[in-house]
Structure 1
Amino acid sequence: MCGRFVVASVGSELVGVLRVDLEGDDLPEPSYNVAPTAPVAIVLDSAKTEPPTRRLETARWGLVPSWAKDVSIGARAFNARSEELEDKPMFRKALEKRRAIVPATGYYEWKNVDGTKIPHYIHPADGSPLFMAGLYEWWKDPQIEDEADPARWVLSFTILTRDSIGHLGSIHDRMPLFVDPDHADAWLDPTTDNVRDVLDAAIDAAPAVARTLDDHVVAKAVGNVRNNSPELIDPVD
């Protein structure tokens, strides 16, 4: 499960190795306590051009499928179990053509210790960006008739998860589906017909990334979404 994460930098500083072609306007500011429904910068390959254009765009965290009546459904779809995607109507179509990468500095997870939930900050040991596999969708607001109104279309996403491995399993039984930069092109490619192979390769590669991650206990202040400062990721005794 991934319900909170950190994006301490934005733009090319965060996604340089992914070779983004276009960066969207008004990308979100850095955040040390990103929560579901918040705006987040994601990477996607747009199939509207040939070859596809790699874009860094602002999206709402919590997938809103095209058939949804309103965006509220997204609040319950901020994570998706990678082993169930093909069986879930909400995620099946996005898996085929609309895969994304969610870049982050790290993420939070809560460990249950004798009934008390202790927050941990999990992050790459070398300070490099962390890439999480995601799916995205475009939703058209039926209440907005003006086609020129930018608010008419909502871009949203979900973060994929899988069983935890190694020391991360001692914190929580689920972890994000991490994407190795070498696998990013295959994951983002909207033209591939081998979706099952791409997903299996991502699931198989994620443990190698997980083994490079460090974690430490942080203050319980991170549990309040109104708290948002660099001190949230500082270790505590």
Structure 2
Amino acid sequence: MCGRADDHFGPLGWQVLNGLFGYQGWELESMRDEVRPTDPIRFVRRTGAGFEAPFGRWGLVPPRMTLDEARKFATFNARIESLHEKPMFRAAFQAQRCVIPIAGFWEWPTSAGVKTKVRITRKDSKPLLVAGLWNCSQTPDGPLESCTIVTRPPTPDLIDVHDRMPALLLSRDIDAWLDAPPIRAREVALASWQPRILQVTPA
């Protein structure tokens, strides 16, 4: 599960993101230490030969569902194992995949009955690239962009932190996640990330 993230990238993070996706104005924003579901969050999608990175509501509003209806469901995470069959996520998995860059994410593991807050980041301070889905809904107030973070079982180094983790992508697998047929995209999202890249730091 991923229910708290942060987008406090810093200069190295901005440099990496600009190199991967082109200049998107990351540096002009105030970085947040905690981004919560329903907050706006950046997601990256294809546009022509390049990319664009709009803000979207963290919590997918599926096709043919209103925002009020979507609020009744926890659509901020989507399990990789069932994307192809869940009505809320199936259409976006087919054709509207994205990458959600975050600086880190937060979890609350329990050890000996005590819950602690930890932050999970890359050891080299580069951004985490999370497999995501997006949609744009028409509302009485205009178009509403929304997105969700795809989750997967944890790698061995995170088993003691939580039984789910974001489906993290290495940069070499971005194109496959965005463009490959759904079956191949799912394989990539499950296999891309490797242990020992992350660090877990107590808050």
Contact 1:66 1:140 in 2 (8 A): no
TM-score, normalized by length of structure 1? 0.77
How far did residue 18 of structure 1 move? 1.8
Could you give the per-residue CA deviations for residues 144-201 of structure 1, whole angstroms, max 9, x where no partner exists? 4xxxxxxx00110000111112121111111100011001122123xx4x22112112
Give the Å deviation of 1:70: 2.2
Is 2:103–2:128's contact at 8 Å kept on the other side of the alignment? yes
1:132 is aligned, of 130, 147, 160, to 130
Q: 1:85 to 1:170 in 2, by over 3 A?
A: same
CA contact under 8 A between 1:81 and 1:160: conserved in structure 2? yes
Partner residue, 1:9 = 9
State the match for 2:113 in structure 1.
115
- AA aligned to 1:19 is F
Question: 1:18-60: CA deviations, max 9, x gaps?
Answer: 233x6379x75310010001111111113xx3x4x31111111
The answer (yes or no) to whether the contact 1:28–1:39 under 8 Å persists in 2 is: no
What number of residue pairs does the alignment pair up?
200
Give the gaps of 5 or more residues in structure 1. 145-151, 219-237
TM-score relative to the length of structure 2: 0.89
- Range with bigger deviation, 63-72 or 174-183: 63-72
Partner of 1:100: 98
Task: For 2:20, give the aligned amino acid.
Answer: L
- Measure, in 2, the Cα distance between the counterparts of 1:178 and 1:138: 23
1:198 matched to 2:198? The reply is no
Q: Once superposed, which parts of structure 1, at least 4 consecutive aligned residues long, lie more than 4 Å away?
A: none
Alpha-carbon offset, residue 94 of structure 1? 0.4
1:1-237 equivalences under 5 Å are 1-9=1-9, 12-13=14-15, 15-20=17-22, 23=24, 29-46=30-47, 49=48, 51=49, 53-71=50-68, 73-74=70-71, 76-141=74-139, 143-144=140-141, 152-189=142-179, 192=180, 194-206=181-193, 208=194, 210-218=195-203
User: What SS is found at the alignment partner of 1:34?
Assistant: coil
Query: Conserved in 1, the CA contact under 8 Å of 2:135 and 2:146?
Result: yes
1:90 match: secondary structure: coil
Q: Which has the larger radius of gyration?
A: 1
Query: Cα distance 1:186–1:71, how it changes in 2: closer, same or farther (>3 A)?
Result: farther
Which moved further from structure 2: 64-73 or 167-176? 64-73
Q: More helix by proportion, 1 or 2?
A: 1
Specify the code of the residue in structure 2 equivalent to 1:32. D
- Unpaired runs of 5+ in structure 2? none
Work out the percentage of aligned pairs sharing the same amino acid: 32
**DSSP-derived class of the 2:54 partner:** strand
* Structure 2: distance between partners of 1:107 and 1:168: 12
CA distance in 1, matches of 2:41, 2:68: 16
Q: C-alpha distance in 1, partners of 2:29/2:148?
A: 17
What letter is aligned with 1:5?
A: A
8 Å contact kept, 1:125–1:214:
yes
- Asked if the contact 1:17–1:181 (Cα under 8 Å) also holds between the matched residues in 2, the reply is no
Amino acid aligned to 2:93? L
Question: Separation in 2 of the partners of 1:98 and 1:186?
Answer: 13
**Aligned-pair CA distance for 1:131:** 0.7
CA contact (8 A) 1:132 1:176 kept: yes
- Please provide the CA RMSD for this pair: 2.3
